[in-house]
Amino acid sequence: MRFLMTVTAAQAPDEKMMTEMGQLVEELTKAGVVLATGGLNQSGTRVSAVDGKVTLTDGPFTEAKEAILSFALVDARSREEAIELARRFWQVARTGEGRIQQVYGPE
């Protein structure tokens, strides 16, 4: 099962946290658990459509608390395992907020 773990709020990382996070991501990537990770540029383009009419709006957007700062796509055996992976992440990140959502579609 694949899960998307996203970060919507976090403290600025220091050198120690970046080193620890790098080690955790490397360990989980080698184990085949982490499929992809990355940070996101906060000034994207919002795309919306109504009755097939597409509207584009350039960011940044006022709803900053809802903005996704970074993500990890993980392969876990269960929701519980994905939650445990998130616990490990937040033990390193220390302070912040995010979500875990199951990804549906071809494996």
Domain spans of the chain, in order of start = 2-103
Average pLDDT over residues 53-61: 86
pLDDT above 90: residue 45: no
2-103: CATH superfamily: Dimeric alpha+beta barrel (3.30.70.1060)
Mean pLDDT of the chain: 91
Q: Write down the residue that tokens 């998307």 correspond to.
A: 4
Chain-centre distance of CA 6, in angstroms? 3
What does the block give as tokens for 36? 């992809």
